[in-house]
Copies of this chain bind each other. A is one copy, B any other.
Amino acid sequence: MDFRTLPGFREFYPEILAARNEIFSRWRSAARSFGFKEFEPPVLEELSLFTEKSGEEIRSQLFEFVDKGGREVALRPEMTPSLARMVGSKAGGLRKPVKWFAIGENYRYERQQKGRLRAFYQYNADILGDDSVACDAEIMALLVASLESLGLTKEEFKVRLGDRKLWVLFLKSRGVPEDYVVPVLSAADKMAKISPEAFSEVLSGSLKGSGVDSDALAREIRNFASINDFSELEKFFEGISKGEDSELLARLEDWKVLFESLENLGKSDFVVCDMGIVRGLAYYTGFVFEAFQTVGTGRALAGGGRYDSLVRKLGYQDLPAVGFGMGDVTVSDLLELVGKKPKNKDALDAFLIIGSPSLRKKALNIASSLRGGGISVEYPFKDSGFGKQFKQADSSGAKFALILGEDEAEKGVVKIKNLSSGEEVFVKETEVRKFLSEKSKLD
């Protein structure tokens, strides 16, 4: 027998878990400060919930099976479809806008690659029921605040902001017929990852039968996608018939409002315009964004955008929505890289050293009283000499050793040794709890 975890699944030993949970706890605090409420969807759902959102092709990436009741089910690959159901099915009874977040594990059966997990945690935050640009600014501000809560700065990450709506207006202005827009966007999304030749080929495939000159459009798309400054964006559209296109004008106005709101929220320094951000998923309908680290490998940390049609598509009322998702692994790698891994706060406060078997009763009384006061305490289960117990205290990682010897017991005191400084003090038995409470507050 040799039991292992499944490929792409993680088992969390305490130290690793504590570090991960510290990240989650900062994210929770950030989301709560923005008035977001936490929700939790089921881990297992009907398969159709996921195929309805993403198409049948999603099945190849799912942990899907038929359960003992004959139901086609799947481990959730993401939380958004469940969110849409939870909000959609009770939309009438929920205060709008709905501001919710979740931190949970998702599952995808992906080809094994370095760093690619099949079970991965994600932090999602979404606002449903509001279509204003102020709402887009709010979700982006939360994304920034969540990364800031980990001590990350604008020198270490940026949010790149693109716009599906503007892409659609741009493609239409270039004569791309309505039905071809989504396939062309999907091709544009792949552009950065493939060679120019491969891109031309993909694009020409997407445009088949549209009558559009694929090579000319490829050049224009490359130009458009390379815009990474708002003034460039304004300039780009100056050339075309802006006067006739009130949609376009209104959209450029939206960009201004968005940046203004981000500035008012103190987050505009983190956000840059980047029309190369397209987001492949067909369900995005407006602003889209990705957070990237600007140090090291430049990996993506999070992504999101506006998706106004999903809730209706799943059969519920029309609820505009915007949100983001962020994984724990890339963020944790980044923190490691920049030397900002959160400290493990889980250290034991005190280890009790029991001078003789007759003192065990007193020792357990003290342990129990300290624990009742929220101080973490261990003591040896078996009687042994001072030397062995001191070793146990050291290896426990405790901040303090509490030494209860015959002499101390007679005087009603406990010797408290700071295990990092070596400093020793005698404290009255009745005052140990107070002493340690104050010490642990100083941490």
Spell out A's residues near B (CB within 8 Å).
Answer: 1-7, 9-14, 17-18, 21, 29, 32-35, 37-46, 48-49, 52, 60, 63, 65-69, 71, 73, 75, 82, 85-86, 89-90, 95, 97, 99-100, 105, 107, 109, 119, 130, 132, 134-135, 138, 141, 145, 260-261, 264-267, 314-315, 346, 348, 360-361, 364-365, 367-368, 370-372, 374-378, 381-382, 395-396
Q: Which residue of chain B has its CB nearest to the CB of A33? A: B371
Q: How long is the Cα–Cα vector from A13 to B38 in the complex, in angstroms?
A: 8
Instruction: Decide: A42 and B3 in contact? CB cutoff 8 A.
Output: no
- Contacts of A266 on B, CB cut-off 8 Å? 365, 368, 372
Q: A13-B39, A18-B38, A315-B2 are in contact. Are A376 and B33 (CB under 8 A)?
A: yes
A335 CB, min distance to chain B CBs, angstroms: 19
Pairwise interchain contact B86-A264, C-beta atoms closer than 8 A: no
Q: How many copies of this chain does one complex carry?
A: 2
Q: Verify B46–A4 contact, CB threshold 8 A.
A: yes
Main secondary structure of the interface of A (DSSP, over half): mixed
Select A3's contact among B46, B107, B264, B267, beta carbons within 8 Å: B46
**Chain B proximity of A255: nearest CB distance (Å):** 17
Cβ A138 vs Cβ B381 within 8 A: yes
Question: Which residue of chain B is the closest to A374 with respect to CB atoms?
Answer: B33
A11, B17: Cα distance in complex, Å:
24
| Beta-carbon contact of B1 and A367 below 8 Å | no
If A6-B71, A14-B39, A21-B38 touch, whether A314 touches B109 (CB-CB below 8 Å) is no
Please indicate the chain B residues that have their CB under 8 angstroms from the CB of A38 in the complex: 14, 17-18, 21, 346
Contact B10 A37 (CB under 8 A): no
Contact A396 to B39, CB < 8 A, known contacts A100-B14, A265-B364, A365-B266: no
By the criterion CB–CB under 8 Å, are B381 and A3 in contact? no
Additional A-B contacts beyond A3-B315, A44-B119, A67-B109 (17; CB < 8 A): A3-B89, A3-B314, A5-B45, A6-B42, A9-B44, A11-B42, A12-B40, A17-B38, A17-B40, A18-B37, A21-B38, A32-B346, A33-B374, A33-B376, A130-B381, A138-B381, A264-B361
Quick one: which of B49, B99, B264, B371 contacts A365, CB cutoff 8 A? Answer: B264
Could you say which of B40, B265, B374, B395 contacts A29, with CB atoms under 8 Å apart? B374
Residue pair A39, B63 in contact (C-beta under 8 Å)? no
Q: How far is the CA of A145 from the CA of B38 in the complex (A)?
A: 27
Q: Are A44 and B132 CB-contacts (below 8 A) given A17-B38, A100-B14, A376-B33?
A: no
Residues of chain B within 8 A of A82, CB atoms compared: 11
Q: List 10 A-B contacts (CB under 8 A).
A: A5-B42, A5-B45, A11-B40, A13-B86, A13-B90, A21-B38, A43-B43, A67-B109, A265-B367, A266-B372
